[in-house]
């Protein structure tokens, strides 16, 4: 069957492409790739010991997600977000989660929904511990997973993917400012389990109020750090 080898190669390349994209995204979130920093396809390919093709595809994917900018004849640059960008992200997140919670409360009676929410709650507990400890790296990982799994319960993959992209962009925008602080203990939002508990009660109003307070807290923190 002559097509099998080609298909296997395509799967391997696509998997590598995703792995590289995930690794570079994590480098940006960890602050090791700074806003405005430029690099070439060759530099990344050499760093990871792979061919240029999956690297180029990964960088194009990250550009489509708004995390990188293509620089003509020079390669790519980490996108520099502004405070106005962050305000827009928070507003967009509010609109998406409003629709998300409507779907969650309506679907909470479905078979397996309660168990799924318990799994999301466990992720929330880990995120809260990291927030209380001021451990930004651990918090980002669990927070993204928390919201990704919460979004998946809605059953609309397009909305879930859009929310995930917004949350990644929000963290990328906030990370350079947050890492200026020597001690983040007590500064980071830690209401994950409170939110899940409200959704488990099908209390859409309470869930909305928790997220509104979270957004206000996040925006006030980032505005203070940007001013300071």
Q: Answer whether residue 106 shows pLDDT above 70.
A: no
- Residue 78 near residue 33 (C-beta atoms within 8 A): yes
- Residue 169 near residue 66 (C-beta atoms within 8 A): yes
Which residue has tokens 């962050």? 86
Q: Is 8 exposed, middle or buried (0-12, 13-18, 19+ CB in 10 A)?
A: exposed
- Residue 214 near residue 190 (C-beta atoms within 8 A): no
Measured CA to CA in angstroms, residue 17 lies from 54, 60, 88, 168 at distances of 5, 10, 29, 18
Q: Answer whether residue 150 shows pLDDT above 50.
A: yes
Percent of the chain with pLDDT over 70: 90
- pLDDT band of residue 11 (cuts 50, 70, 90) is very low
Ordered by where they begin, the domains of the chain are 3-78 (1.10.10.10), 83-227 (1.20.120.530)
- For 18-43, how does the pLDDT look when each residue is reduced to its tens digit (9 = 90+)? 999 999 999 999 988 999 999 999 99
- For 56-104, how does the pLDDT look when each residue is reduced to its tens digit (9 = 90+)? 999 999 999 999 999 988 899 999 999 999 999 999 999 999 888 887 7
The per-residue DSSP string of 4-15 comes to HHHHHHHHHHHH
- 222: which DSSP letter? H
Spatial distance between the Cα atoms of 203 and 5, rounded to a whole number of angstroms = 52
CA gyration radius, the chain: 19
Q: Which H helix or E strand runs over 68?
A: strand 68-71
Spatial distance between the Cα atoms of 57 and 41, rounded to a whole number of angstroms = 10
């Amino acid at each position: 069957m002559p097509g099998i080898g080609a298909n296997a190669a395509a799967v391997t390349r696509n998997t590598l492409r995703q792995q590289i994209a995930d690794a570079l995204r994590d480098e940006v979130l960890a602050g090791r790739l700074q806003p405005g920093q430029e690099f070439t396809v060759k530099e990344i390919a050499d760093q990871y010991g792979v061919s240029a093709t999956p690297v180029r595809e990964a960088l194009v994917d990250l550009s489509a997600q708004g995390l990188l900018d293509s620089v003509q004849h020079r390669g790519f640059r980490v996108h520099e977000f502004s405070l106005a960008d962050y305000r827009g992200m928070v507003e967009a997140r509010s609109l998406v989660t409003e629709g998300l919670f409507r779907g969650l409360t309506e679907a909470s009676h479905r078979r397996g929904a309660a168990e799924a929410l318990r799994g999301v709650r466990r992720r929330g507990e880990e995120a809260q511990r990291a927030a209380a400890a001021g451990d930004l790296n651990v918090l980002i990982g669990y927070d993204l997973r928390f919201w990704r799994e919460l979004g998946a319960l809605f059953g609309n993959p397009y909305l879930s993917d859009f929310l995930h992209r917004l949350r990644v962009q929000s963290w990328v925008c906030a990370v350079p400012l947050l890492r200026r602080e020597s001690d983040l203990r007590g500064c980071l939002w830690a209401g994950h389990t409170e939110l899940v508990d409200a959704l488990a009660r099908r209390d859409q109003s309470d869930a909305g109020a928790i997220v509104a307070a979270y957004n206000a807290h996040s925006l006030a923190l980032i505005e203070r750090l940007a001013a300071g």
